[in-house]
Amino acid sequence: MIKKECCYYQSSTVKDDPEDEESIIKGMTPNPLLKKNEWGWAIDPIGFRIALKEIYARYKMPIFVTENGIGVREELNENKTVEDDYRIDYLRAHIEQMKLAMEEGVDVIGYLTWGCTDILSSQGEMKKRYGFMFVNRDESDLRDLKRYKKKSFEWFKNVISTNGKQL
């Protein structure tokens, strides 16, 4: 089976001053019109849709989204959960744009988030959390390693059970 791998994590803009300190890659800089997470990653659901359309137009192959999500600092509240409405909003907006891309002809055959539980980031950090389940540990203390459902857990469970009809 032939497969192609492509990545989309955020959109950027091209700037005419490649020496600018905000430049990510020479000439590339975060879009100043977009909201960013606390690590400076642009939040751009429309960019996600554009990337899906461009990848599909280029390769004419079904797409399986294997990573989509937002990393944020989180701690349990007094009810032993995390009220992560920002994650729900982020995922809802990206799924809505993916559905639009599908209506526009993109063959998306699957969708996964970054992880169902909080996992170590690519830098080995636990402070950047991605999942629907809070893992009770931090950078240096394993604590008790218990798992706690975040608000987004039930939301995403409903998204799955309705096959994306209820976002």
The residues, any chain, with a CB within 8 Å of residue 64's CB and separated by 6 or more, are: 108, 109, 110, 111, 112
Strands 108-111 and 133-135: unpaired
67 is catalytic: yes
Strands 133-135 and 147-149: what pairing? antiparallel
**Catalytic-labelled residue, pool 22, 54, 67, 83:** 67
Neighbouring C-beta atoms of residue 155, cutoff 10 Å: 19
Cβ neighbours around 55 below 10 Å, total = 18
DSSP 156: H
Burial of 53 (0-12, 13-18, 19+ CB in 10 A): middle
Catalytic residues: 67
